[in-house]
Structure 1
Amino acid sequence: EEPFQGHNIQETVEEHEISDDPAVFRIVKDLSYEVCELQAHNEFLLRDVHVADLKTENESLKRQLHSCSQYTGAIQNAYYACSTQHAASLLVSLSTAKTTKFGAELILDNDEKTQFYTGLTSYSLFQTLFKLLKPFMEKRISKKRPPLWSIKDEFFITLSKLRLGLLYKDITCRSNISESNVSKIFHKWLDIMYRELRQLIVWPDGEKLYETLPIQFKKHYFNVISIIDCFEIFIEESLSLESRSCTYSQYKKHNTLKVLISIAPTGSITFILNVWGGRVLDKVITQKSGFLDKISYDDLAIRGAYLEIPAFTRGKKQLSMAEVEKTRQLARLRIHVKRVIGLLRNKYIILHGVLPITLVKRPSDTNVATIEKVVTVAAALTNTSSSIVFK
């Protein structure tokens, strides 16, 4: 039963105007005592109900607090475990960083790092090239002055400079070797690589070229020998006014060097030799670079080879439909030489930026300038990667 909500007896007397009869007044007084007792009992009952609710709520809160404490403890344990593991991994990383130097050890059995630091497709290819070139470098090492680094580390540094375009100062900070020694190492290896690796740039045999001709060439240009184009490399301004004049390119609005490149239909680089000033016309470079000497009489006469160039609107209002279609067909195939040039320059970033004069030609260069060695070595190494032309 719900507790009785009592009323004040005085209010009841005043409301009903009870008479002044003593007997009635005593009855009312007795009733008021009973009402007061009932009110006190009612308050006690109300208090008991409230306390019971509070106890129930308190028990529920205790259970929630206990579960929260357990959850918090689990989180703390996980945090401490993660912190300990992270600290251990940091210690391992620091110890590895201290023990791993900037050398061939950095790419050991790691094809991804090999490709990033050297541009070569795999570590096994790095090993193969090193074994090929190692005997030639050993002949140049003086017994009185042993190398500051191992021969393999020097080879790695040379490839890294070609691949990433690192400054001598950067390599010095990584290796604790003076800039002059880094420069000597680079040029020694560059000379050997130029002399030995340029054999990877081969002019293809006509019959073998036809046998390996991609399908996209067979329909309209089955007798194609080569696709040629020129690309430019930015260089610093020379102190010589004559050199500035010879190398300034009106097209690039910068001092540049121009290189003629020829690729086979399969995408391999077949000719890249001389480097010219950016002012020289592509036509003049083609005539005087020795490229035409590569084309044999058999190619010109027996196979009926001839020069194909896109149509121009010079002297015309517009091209004919036949010229437009022919130019479109040429563009589909000529784009491959642009892709190879992009591959060459992106793979070896030293050709992508502005070359310092010291890498263009050094006073000690006699027959071949340094930049020609750099371009030739980069092209030869690019030929070791897979072709970008679909067969």
Structure 2
Amino acid sequence: MRDRLEELRKRAQDYSEAASENSVSPSVEVDNDDSMAAITPQAVMFEEEPVIKSFLFEAQRIRDDITVLDIEVLTFGQQQQTLVATMRRFSVMKKESSITRDIKLKAESLRRRLDALSKQVQRTEDQLGPNAVTTRIQLSQHASLQSKFQQVMWQYNEGLPTKQERCKHFIIRQLELSGRDVTEDEANEMVTTGEWEVFNENLLNDARITRSQLSEIEQRHKVCSRHFATDQLIEPKTLDGRRRLVKGAVPTLFEWNHFTAQTPRASVWERRERPTEPVSREEQEEHIDVRDHDYCSAPEPASLDMSSQATEDNSKTVEDLQKQLQELRVQREFCLQRFAGSDDNIRFYTRFPSYNHLMAFWFLIEPSIYKMVRVTRAISAAKTNEEVVTHARPSTRQLLQPIDEFFLFLCFLSVGLKERDLANRFNVHQSTVSRIIATWTSFLTTLLGSQCIWLTPAEVQAHLAEAFKDFPDTQVILDCTELRCQTPSSLLLQSEMYSTYKSHCTMKALVGIAPHGAVTFVSSLYGGSVSDKEIFKQSGIAALLTENMAVMVDKGFLISDCCKCKVYCPPFLSKQKQMPAYQVRETQAIARLRVHVEHVIRRIKENKLFDGVILLSHAYNINQLFAVACMLSNYQNKALVKKWVK
């Protein structure tokens, strides 16, 4: 705000001079008696200044705090009228003292803030002068706040002596009832300082004396476990632990009662048997060892040596027991290490011929384990539409070691154990087993599928067996296999998956092997109603075959018009009454070699998961499971050599 007072005074002086020259003026009337000039109304311009704005803001805050203090003082005055009538405990007096202390603290804070405003007014007056608008506004605000604050404190000071007198008389009366005389000066000091220890001084002294006596007793006396009954002792959980007492335990066994607990007194209604022969007191004392502990005696050096030797022996015994416990734990747990010494068990649970053979395959895939993405992590990434670019965190807590998870997957695939059975064997939850199977199925499909199993003609010729000398250009031997599955509820799916050959709903796949027995091609699974020729077309193997290659198939594969390579297939009888001798020999030669693909398929289907009816709950990853089983057969054994087939 800009001060226009000087400007108005100057204009008034100009008008008065003009009035003295002219007797009549349209805007100024001259009074000859007092020579005062009336000034016409003028517009006053106001501008905002930060100094006055901050001052008024602080003044408003102080005014609000004074209003709150006024309310508390009024409440305090109303409480003093009923103080003696409602006061039954000294806690009420303490509460009243806290109210008084709060009022004092708030009053001190307001007084300091008013002093700060006074200093600010003084600085403004020194800078702008006493007639400045800012100075006058600040002076009026400070005077108003100071007056209101003084009025509130005067009201508080009027009620304070009344409260002190009532409290003092109440304290004196209570102390007289307790048998202690207190002078009026002591009561005044007590009310002023708020120290009430005079009422419980005796109790504090007694507690202090009792505490010191108890400390002396604890320092001079100790009681060992011999003086407590066995039901009052808590045995340690470890060998180096100490026995503890139950809560509320009391020593009851001493020398004077012969370290025996007194039996509870029988009821008068209970029948008691009398001793046949009375035993004298002397005979009882002869059989009782009444020697008590000597807490002040020190152990002899020989006893220390014996105790240290006993401690060493005990530590060795503990180590041996721990080793035995570890061996028993390994024998009890269902893990790969348990069957490491039995190749028969390894062959049964994993289809690998021996433990060394299994570990050789594990060493091949172990470097890629850290790249494995758990199925739960993949699902969460799919929900958030983000790409899984980082590998699984190594700090993630796993219930089973990776090699035991691989062993669990092989048990599921090779033995066909149910998920609940695997959960009980490996001591994990069934959902954990399901996640492990899904994770390892995807991992092995990706890892083994990244290896190209289709061989070039040169590689096939390099490993061509002697039995194929009549068919040297054979690239692959093909055959289809069917897996029985659960009948779906949909009639349309039933018609697509029903196989007239198996008279059951099945899933069919095309498997191809090289002449030396390695699996080189695996197709996806199709419905059982799809023909072998249609699977050959849709599987994509026709694109891999060239004109210089030959494929060997069964008589049911009519694929001569579907591929550009040569097809070795047993001849048909057609309209002939009898097959010629050369065709018979050709059929026998082809059948003798083509049977190897059936041997490989039999090895694949020795995995008990495909032996029974496949549940539709596994249909989401049955393609991957079948592909993994086919590719694992290349690592498990040789297809052309009959060894441990059962």
Q: Give TM-score, length-normalised by structure 1.
A: 0.67
Match of 1:331 in 2: 591
Match of 2:486 among 212, 215, 236: 236
Output aligned runs, 1:114-263, within 5 Å.
114-121=346-353, 122-137=357-372, 141=392, 146-200=397-451, 202-218=453-469, 220-263=470-513
The aligned amino acid for 2:339 is I
SS in structure 2 at match of 1:270: strand
Output aligned runs, 1:1-391, within 5 Å.
96=328, 99-108=331-340, 110-121=342-353, 122-137=357-372, 141=392, 146-200=397-451, 202-218=453-469, 220-299=470-549, 305-346=565-606, 348-361=607-620, 370-389=621-640
Tell me how large the CA RMSD over aligned residues is.
2.5
1:230-256 CA distances to partner (integer Å, 9 max, x unpaired)? 010010111222221111100100110
Is 1:110–1:123's contact at 8 Å kept on the other side of the alignment?
no
> Percent sequence identity over matched residues?
28
Structure 1 residues 115 and 130: CA distance shift in structure 2, 3 A: farther
Is 1:200–1:383's contact at 8 Å kept on the other side of the alignment?
no
Structure 1 residues 106 and 98: CA distance shift in structure 2, 3 A: closer
The aligned amino acid for 1:309 is C
Is 2:330–2:337's contact at 8 Å kept on the other side of the alignment?
no
Is 2:486–2:613's contact at 8 Å kept on the other side of the alignment?
yes
Deviation at 1:318, TM superposition (A): 3.0
Is 1:133–1:193's contact at 8 Å kept on the other side of the alignment?
no
- Number of residue pairs aligned between Structure 1 and Structure 2: 286
Is 1:107–1:123's contact at 8 Å kept on the other side of the alignment?
no
Q: Give TM-score, length-normalised by structure 2.
A: 0.42
Deviation at 1:262, TM superposition (A): 0.4
1:241-298 CA distances to partner (integer Å, 9 max, x unpaired)? 2221111100100110001000000000000021111110001111111111111355
Using the TM superposition, name which of 350-359 and 308-317 deviates more.
308-317
The aligned amino acid for 1:137 is M
1:181-232 CA distances to partner (integer Å, 9 max, x unpaired)? 21111001110000001245611111221122100101x1111111100010
Deviation at 1:96, TM superposition (A): 3.1
The aligned amino acid for 1:360 is A
Distance in 2 (alpha carbons) for counterparts of 1:166 and 1:133: 27
Structure 1 residues 157 and 246: CA distance shift in structure 2, 3 A: same
SS in structure 2 at match of 1:287: helix
Which fold has the larger relative contact order, with Cα–Cα distance below 8 Å and residues 6 or more apart in sequence?
1
Is 2:546–2:565's contact at 8 Å kept on the other side of the alignment?
no
1:139-181 CA distances to partner (integer Å, 9 max, x unpaired)? 6545785222222221111111111111101111212322222
Using the TM superposition, name which of 307-316 and 96-105 deviates more.
96-105
Distance in 2 (alpha carbons) for counterparts of 1:263 and 1:206: 13
Deviation at 1:133, TM superposition (A): 3.7
Is 1:162–1:349's contact at 8 Å kept on the other side of the alignment?
yes
The aligned amino acid for 2:366 is K
The gaps in structure 2 that reach 5 residues or longer are: 1-323, 374-389, 551-563, 642-646
Distance in 2 (alpha carbons) for counterparts of 1:354 and 1:140: 36
